[in-house]
Amino acid sequence: MLETIRNAATAGVDWIQIREKDLGARRLASLVRQAVEGTRHTRARILVNDRLDIAFAAGAAGIHLGEMSLPVETLLEWRRSAARALFEIGVSCHSVEAARAAERGGADYIFFGPVFGTPSKAAFGPPQGLERLREACSAVQIPVLAIGGVNLENVASCMEAGAAGIAAIRLFQELPDLSGIGARLRGM
């Protein structure tokens, strides 16, 4: 996994979310520390899924919250101190209403989806589609990243719908060569 993280960071990926929900705290902290250290020379920022304690202790750039996680508001006072001002808070949203709520709550960005069909997001219902993505992007002032079934063939349509970027798992795992993927995606 660390090799994949380093390869993605070297290829120009901006954000890497570590979502290893099965790891215990010590192993997860070690993984995050190594990921932060291994990507220090790149533009990539490491975000940790749900574990504020691990993200902060391991020097990650931020945390990503699910819709059923702590409310963003809970973290705002903690983050307001100067030492934590650059700490990012993102939220996964599966409706336009949830996107608005995340913004009102103080989120820095949201993941919206699933935009397209994908096995990893099947539990969240049918794909939202590009029109709902467009609605979510128009409904908030913070960056919206499209997630769920995003691939090289449909990433441009997500950007045309107003997404500030994309989040993906399979896209990065299935590409045999990640070199240049960050620049290629930013160029779409």
CA nearest 152: which of 172, 132, 137, 136? Answer: 172
CA nearest 74: which of 89, 93, 57? Answer: 89
CA nearest 111: which of 145, 162, 149? Answer: 145
What are the start-end ranges of the E strands in 79-139? Answer: 88-93, 109-112
Instruction: Note the pLDDT of residue 75.
Output: 83
Main-chain dihedrals φ then ψ at residue 6, nearest 5 degrees: -60, -40
Mean pLDDT of 153-162: 96
The separation between the first and the last C-alpha atoms of the chain, rounded to the nearest angstrom, is 27
- Domain at 66-180, CATH homologous superfamily: Aldolase class I (3.20.20.70)
Instruction: Note the pLDDT of residue 85.
Output: 67
For 41-95, write each residue's pLDDT tens digit: 999 999 999 999 999 999 999 999 988 898 888 887 777 765 666 788 999 999 9
How far is the C-alpha of 105 from the C-alpha of 122, rounded, in Å? 26
Instruction: Note the pLDDT of residue 82.
Output: 54
Q: Are 80 and 53 in contact (CB under 8 A)?
A: no
CA nearest 61: which of 81, 74, 44, 41? Answer: 44
Cα 108 from chain centroid?
A: 11
How wide is the angle at C-alpha 50 spanned by C-alphas 40 and 57, nearest 5°? 45
In the chain, CATH 3.20.20.70 covers: 66-180
Instruction: Note the pLDDT of residue 118.
Output: 85
